[in-house]
Amino acid sequence: MTAYDAIVIGTGQAGPYVTSRLAGAGMKVAVIERKAFGGTCVNTGCIPTKTMVASAYAARMAARAAEYGVDVGSVRVDMKRVMARKDAVSKASRTGLEDCGTWRTAPSTGVTPASNPRTR
C-alpha cells in the first residue's frame, strides 16, 4: 500500500494550487477526483456557461450590425458548433490541469491517485 503525506480531495478552484504547493514542499500527494478534473467550474459551471454566453453575445452583435452600418445578412446560430466550442474550451482547461502531474486511475474504485513528478 502506498503512503501519502497529504490527500487533496477534488480538483476544483484550490485543488491544483494546494497540490502543487504541497508537492513543492517535498510532500507525497494523492489527488482524489470523483469525475473530470477541474470540478464544477471547468466542466459544468463557469467556463462552459461563459463560453456559451460569448457565443450568444456574438450572435446578438451580428444581428445588430446594421445599426452600425454593417450589412451581414441574416444571422443563424449553429448550436452544434456552439456546443462543440464549449466542449473544446472546457477540455482545454481540463487538460491543463491533468498535465500538472502524473495521474493514474484506480479502476476498481474510480478514484484518481496522483503522483506529482516533484514529490520525493
Burial (Cβ within 10 Å: 0-12, 13-18, ≥19) of residue 29 = buried
**Per-residue pLDDT reduced to its tens digit, 94-117:** 876 666 555 555 544 444 444 444
pLDDT for 102 equals: 52
What grid cell was written down for 55? 457565443
Enter the pTM of the model: 0.68
pLDDT of 89: 93
Joined grid coordinates for residue 81? 458548433
Q: Where does 6-115 sit in CATH, by number?
A: 3.50.50.60
Domain residue spans of the chain: 6-115
